[in-house]
Amino acid sequence: MIIQKTENSRISTFDPNNFSFGSTFIDHMIICEYEDGKWGDVKLVPYGPIPFTPAMMGVNYGQACFEGMKAYKDKDGQVFLFRPEKNFERINKSAKRLAMPEVTEEMFLDGLKALVDIDRDWIPQGEGMSLYIRPLIFATEEALKARVANKYMFAIVATPAKSYYAEPVSVKISDHYSRAANGGVGSAKAAGNYAASFYPTQLAIEEGYEQIIWTDDATHEYFEESGTMNVFVRINDTIYTPPTSEKILDGVTRDSFIQLAKRRGIEVKIEPVAVKTVIEALKDGSLKEVWGVGTAVVTTEFQALGYEGVKLELPRLSAEESYAAILKKDLVDLQNNLSEDPFGWRVSVDHALETV
């Protein structure tokens, strides 16, 4: 790895109590270029612009995918990644689906560790605080030709993160727009998936909702995802979540919630979740809660469902009663080294620069 440390650190300007998530960036980034059929050297360099042209193929033809993950700092200043091997596997799954070159485990994991290690001072401490990390791959060849590109870039950038969506939100059950279709790229973290979701979400916001529960493209009769999150439904004391497929993203937080729930002895059923089943359970009182999970938000609890033009209020549970709240605490405590890690999910990054 080639390491070029910045001579003008901005850490003195960073206020961990007052920053903007997603637009405050750490001092460094990882970049690696692909050309002539192979990846070049991984470089850790100062964060900043990279020159590209409007003819860059990633912009014109959409060959671009990314990951979302976090680093955490415990009370003693130790820094951890959380299940990074899952993100490594998934970015390559996305890259393959978009006909892009896969990255090596060394590029991905060593790059992550080196970046987080050198900029550990940017990781805020405290409840809900973390460093959000965005690995990505995109086509960089300058050509207006509708084909697979010959040049790419792998990069990793990061932004300090804090809790958001702290309050429960209202979500509209989609009866027209879909996030993904059979045979499509729903299981890939393709950049275009997010662009396509913005317009329907904007319409839902205009109707008084914060997000959408996406339903299947063929019948709109089954839950798939919610916004950019995987979705969970609790009926009585059983948790239901749709199975992953070529339409549903295999979320790391989703898998973690499932395993944590099972460890607590909570029954989890991974099966299709019918809209009618959820609505009927709400009406007869057996629906206890619905929530979404994802890396950035961890958990977002839902307070109402929009269905057939009506906003239906959901039960409000205390933190002690809510499976969403209980499992979120289990996960956050594990991520922040406040509890044991029976799964081996925490990965220390201390002194990573000494090994690269």
- The model's pLDDT over 87-117, given as tens digits with 9 standing for 90+, comes to 999 999 999 999 999 999 999 999 999 999 9
Can you give the length of the chain in residues? 356
What is the C-alpha to C-alpha distance for residues 82 and 84, in angstroms, rounded to an integer? 6
Q: Which amino acid is at 130?
A: S
Q: Is residue 180 within 8 Å of 193, Cβ to Cβ?
A: yes
Q: What is the β-pairing status of strands 211-215 and 169-173?
A: parallel
CA distance 232 to 241: 5
pLDDT tens column, 252-297: 999 999 999 999 999 999 999 999 999 999 999 999 999 999 998 8
Other Cβ atoms within 10 Å of 150 Cβ, number: 16
Name the residue ranges covered by the structural domains of the chain.
2-162, 169-335
2-162: which CATH number, 3.40.980.10, 3.30.470.10, 1.10.3720.10, 3.40.50.2000?
A: 3.30.470.10
**Token duo for residue 87:** 């993100």
The span from the CA of 245 to the CA of 300, in Å, is 22
Give the tokens for residue 234.
């609790």
CATH number of 169-335: 3.20.10.10
Nearest to 134, CA basis, from 158, 154, 118: 158
pLDDT tens digits for 159-213? 999 876 568 999 999 999 999 999 999 999 999 999 999 999 999 999 999 999 9
